Structure 1
Amino acid sequence: MTGYLVKLRAYSKKDLDKTLEYINDLEVRKYINPGIVFPFRYEDEEKWYESINPDNGGKYTFAIEKIEDNKYIGGCGINEIDWKNSVATVGIFIGKPFWNKGYGTEAMKLLVNFVFNEMNINKVKLSVFSFNKRAIRSYEKIGFKVEGVLREEIFRDGIYHDEIIMGILRKEWV
């Protein structure tokens, strides 16, 4: 899947070192799901890589690569699919050097387009922490709407924060 700034492709083993570097960056960690072990070790990364390998029944997980120089900058994918109700839960992370350049917005657009048009899913949803204003603006720009708030769900930097659930329906996708 290719856009103007980025393309989504399968992960390769050569992406693992950079993934480890990006995910272990404290600033990036602040925005990532608390279920991911920290510090993330290379052994954890190898297990994760094997689990997403299509040959092992892997999920829909994509590396994000800049078109300009073919540089790996992050990842996105479908974390969960509810086939019965036609709902996909998605997620994304971008390495800090690539923030505020439109890469994440375009990668998420490509992912959402794939979910709606290739998988025939009715709804895409995600969760974002209330302090991640940049991501919230990006998701709203794509067409996601706030569907609910889990109050004081996450504890970061000595403060409780809300987790915002956002979604977009296929009929809202332009």
Structure 2
Amino acid sequence: MLKGKKIKLRTYKITDVEKLYELFENENIKKTLLTGILFPMSKESEKDFIEGNLKPKGELFNFAVERLEDGECVGGCGINSIDRKNSVAVIGLWIGEKYHGNGYGSDLLRVLCKFIFEEMNIHKIKLECFSFNEKGLNCYRAVGFKEEGRLRQEIFREGKYYDTIAMGIFKDELK
């Protein structure tokens, strides 16, 4: 089992639809994750996403994030792509806004990275973060991710352009 100090990563369940829809249908969460125009998502779309992740897709795993204290689903994460030739994985993650500041994000990131490094034998893990997402940047840095580059004024949010920050980590940098 993929378990940390505060969370565990597990497969999605159909019963997660309501909770994840409630958590994801939040403007502050959407603006840190999506690159396109932000618009309301339907429960049917969330159900389709979860149903699509009930069966494994090779090495591209998506996980629900569950609190250990009470089994409540608080977010999601996954491996978005893998380059086996160069041994690089790209990940994404999110925690519902009402759960921010409790250490769930850094715990899930450590668990996910450990799984990727130790079980999948990946050399490097990458992610991208928008420059206005200070909570996310602080979390990634706390776990050991380093800034590797910037795509200047790459994302348009609320009438302003922001940078997209490319970050990466190697196994020996994981804190």
TM-score, normalised to structure 1's length?
0.93
1:26-37 aligned within 5 A: 26-35=27-36
CA distance in 2, matches of 1:9, 1:85: 27
2:54 is aligned to: 53
In structure 1, the gaps of 5 or more residues are none
Local SS of the residue matching 1:46 = helix
1:140-155 aligned within 5 A: 140-155=141-156
Answer with 90-99 or 38-47: which moved more.
38-47
Note if contact 1:51-1:58 (Cα within 8 Å) is conserved in structure 2: no
CA distance in 1, matches of 2:150, 2:61: 26
Answer with 158-167 or 17-26: which moved more.
17-26
2:166 is aligned to: 165
Give yes or no for the alignment of 1:41 onto 2:42.
yes
Measured against aligned partners, the alpha-carbon deviations of 1:93-131 in whole angstroms (never above 9, x if no partner) come to 111110111101100110000000000000000000101
CA distance in 2, matches of 1:35, 1:109: 28
CA distance in 2, matches of 1:90, 1:108: 9
Going from structure 1 to structure 2, the CA distance change for 1:71 and 1:36 (only over 3 Å counts) comes to: farther
Displacement of 1:56 after TM fit? 6.2
Displacement of 1:51 after TM fit? 2.2
1:94 is aligned to: 95
Going from structure 1 to structure 2, the CA distance change for 1:133 and 1:156 (only over 3 Å counts) comes to: same
Note if contact 1:52-1:58 (Cα within 8 Å) is conserved in structure 2: no
Which portions of structure 1, spanning 4 or more consecutive aligned residues, are displaced by more than 6 angstroms?
none
In structure 2, the gaps of 5 or more residues are none
What percent identity do the matched residue pairs reach?
43
CA distance in 2, matches of 1:56, 1:49: 13
CA distance in 2, matches of 1:94, 1:2: 16
Cα RMSD of the aligned pairs, angstroms, is 1.7
Displacement of 1:41 after TM fit? 1.2
Local SS of the residue matching 2:33 = coil
Going from structure 1 to structure 2, the CA distance change for 1:33 and 1:40 (only over 3 Å counts) comes to: same
Going from structure 1 to structure 2, the CA distance change for 1:7 and 1:55 (only over 3 Å counts) comes to: closer
Code of the residue aligned with 1:93 in structure 2: it is: W
Local SS of the residue matching 1:54 = coil
Going from structure 1 to structure 2, the CA distance change for 1:24 and 1:33 (only over 3 Å counts) comes to: same
CA distance in 1, matches of 2:37, 2:58: 21
1:16-27 aligned within 5 A: 16-27=17-28
Local SS of the residue matching 1:30 = helix
Note if contact 2:153-2:164 (Cα within 8 Å) is conserved in structure 1: yes
CA distance in 1, matches of 2:37, 2:105: 20
CA distance in 2, matches of 1:67, 1:36: 34
Code of the residue aligned with 1:82 in structure 2: it is: D
Going from structure 1 to structure 2, the CA distance change for 1:94 and 1:137 (only over 3 Å counts) comes to: same
Going from structure 1 to structure 2, the CA distance change for 1:134 and 1:93 (only over 3 Å counts) comes to: same
Note if contact 1:50-1:56 (Cα within 8 Å) is conserved in structure 2: no
TM-score, normalised to structure 2's length?
0.93
